[in-house]
Structure 1
Amino acid sequence: MAATFEDYNAAIKAFWNGRDLQSQKQIDTGKVDAGTRGSVTGGLHLSALQDLIANEFASLKAMGAEVRQSGIIPLPGFYRRAKNWDIVVTYNGILVAAIECKSQVGSFGNNFNNRTEEAIGNAVDLWRAYEGGLLGPFKPWLGFVFVIEHAPKSTTIVRDHGTPLYRTDPEFDNSSYVRRYQLLFERLVRERLYDAACLITSVKGEGIHEEPVPEVSTRNLTAAIAGRIAYIQGLA
């Protein structure tokens, strides 16, 4: 059964609960990371969202497909040996889907470039591995889901430091970090580095605040997954 907006909304609320529980666990054990890092180093904060997306492939599991979403799930790379993905679906040797789920809460200026480079690099590395014959004969399907905190520092115009040697893309003029992520994921999908992506903003402790771009929304992600499932069922 396809996931609904309400399903995703509940998963985002669970995301915040997971962060809070992870922080409390570290406090209780006396092992507290700096800043907000303690909220995510336990790795459970996005589990509800990953469960929801993995369950989208339930109909393929009935056919014998494997849906992996926990532990270490490495796929071969080309520029590096391997990369762990959050959700990996396989069927009869076919890489049905590889999906990454990431979030950003606070520290927007420090982490934006890291998140951007990660999203681009992961896709480029995997596609090159596919072209090099490391992932079988069938074209993989890649997805990326990103949750960003809706806060003043993520939604106001970024005050960039330094003047680039050449004119930057005017689309980035007077843009917030949320706007820059919009452009990133729109372009990653349009350039076919990812088959589908999803950008969600959320106020701390709440559900989905906004899905700024229909092209990279939960609804579009669900539709794209359904299309991939139909393709695999057709092959079977």
Structure 2
Amino acid sequence: MSLDLVNYERKVCEAVQAFWNNRASAREKQLESGKTDQGERAGVTAGKNMDGFVELVLDIVRANGLAHADIHQNKGLLTLPGFFRPTKLWDLLVISEGQLIAAVEFKSQVGPSFGNNFNNRAEEAIGTAHDFWTAYRDGAFGEQPRPFIGWLMLVEDAPASRAAVQECSPHFPVFLEFKGASYIKRYDILCQKLMHERLYTTASVIASPKNNCRLGQYSSLSPMTNIKTFVTSLAGHIAAEAARLS
């Protein structure tokens, strides 16, 4: 099976550039209006910061045999049933011939509050996946093969996110891999465990420094969680589904 990876390296750089530029534009607009959010929140409220990564996924879907699939990006069409809750709003859904092909979440974290935000992101990712697969088990999406479930995180590459962090667990020791792990490393560990436990088909994290936004600079943490793994896994799933539905 020949996969089309749609020149993903260039498109990831462009997506990273767009991420930082969109945040900067949002801050500038708020300053001009005189209504500013506190801290990094000012760069989040534009709500379109990860759109470059959304476009990358769309290109992969179209290039690998499902050009005519229904690809949903609008909020009103992004809801799936849950098991522990009635519904869950995803960031992107791919549906073909009434079957769910893929559901993807796009997340980001920019300092300075890496600690609290990491815990929130981890709890959200774990809970979302557990809820989804329990609903799938109980037939929420009908009789169909397992869809692709993806989780893509962009985290600011900064001294605070790269610094070693010590955990306090007074009653029982934390797992060895977490001891002294930076927040960026913790995201890498999280993504690996999400895949090991089959909570996500692919979970990836990329690190990008804010001060190099014009270059679209980014780095990966490990082969298992890098963007190439995400892209190839998605492309392979889409191509297989296109062949099955043809």
TM-score, length-scaled by structure 1: 0.94
Does the 8 Å CA contact 1:12/1:202 hold for their aligned counterparts?
A: yes
Match of 1:26 among 30, 33, 40: 30
Does the 8 Å CA contact 2:66/2:238 hold for their aligned counterparts?
A: no
Does the 8 Å CA contact 1:93/1:136 hold for their aligned counterparts?
A: no
Give secondary structure in 2 for the equivalent of 1:120. helix
Match of 1:87 among 77, 85, 92: 92
Give secondary structure in 2 for the equivalent of 1:233. helix
2:161 aligns with 154
Task: Tell me the CA shift for residue 31 of structure 1.
Answer: 2.6
Does the 8 Å CA contact 1:18/1:46 hold for their aligned counterparts?
A: no
Distance in structure 2 (CA, Å) of the matches to 1:226 and 1:61: 10
1:67 aligns with 71
Pairing of 1:102-141 with structure 2 (within 5 A)? 102-106=107-111, 107-138=113-144, 139-141=146-148
Equivalent AA in structure 2 for residue 86 of structure 1: D
Does the 8 Å CA contact 2:16/2:218 hold for their aligned counterparts?
A: no
2:244 aligns with 235
Distance in structure 2 (CA, Å) of the matches to 1:164 and 1:66: 51
Match of 2:225 among 190, 205, 216: 216
Runs of 5+ consecutive residues of structure 1 not aligned to the other structure: none
2:190 aligns with 184
Task: Tell me the CA shift for residue 141 of structure 1.
Answer: 1.4
Give secondary structure in 1 for the equivalent of 2:75. coil
What's the % identity of the aligned pairs? 38
Distance in structure 1 (CA, Å) of the matches to 2:59 and 2:218: 23
Match of 1:42 among 21, 40, 46: 46
TM-score, length-scaled by structure 2: 0.90
The higher-RCO structure (CA 8 Å, 6+ apart) is 2
**CA offsets 1:188-224 (integer angstroms, 9 cap, x no match):** 1121110012110000043233101111111111111
**CA offsets 1:2-33 (integer angstroms, 9 cap, x no match):** 23212111211111001111112222233311
Corresponding position: 1:51 with 2:55: yes
Distance in structure 2 (CA, Å) of the matches to 1:235 and 1:45: 34
Does the 8 Å CA contact 1:96/1:141 hold for their aligned counterparts?
A: yes
Does the 8 Å CA contact 1:150/1:203 hold for their aligned counterparts?
A: yes
Aligned length: 234
Does the 8 Å CA contact 1:22/1:39 hold for their aligned counterparts?
A: yes
Runs of 5+ consecutive residues of structure 2 not aligned to the other structure: none
Does the 8 Å CA contact 1:186/1:215 hold for their aligned counterparts?
A: yes
**CA offsets 1:25-63 (integer angstroms, 9 cap, x no match):** 22223331111112112211111121112221114443x
Report which stretch shifted further, 53-62 or 114-123.
53-62
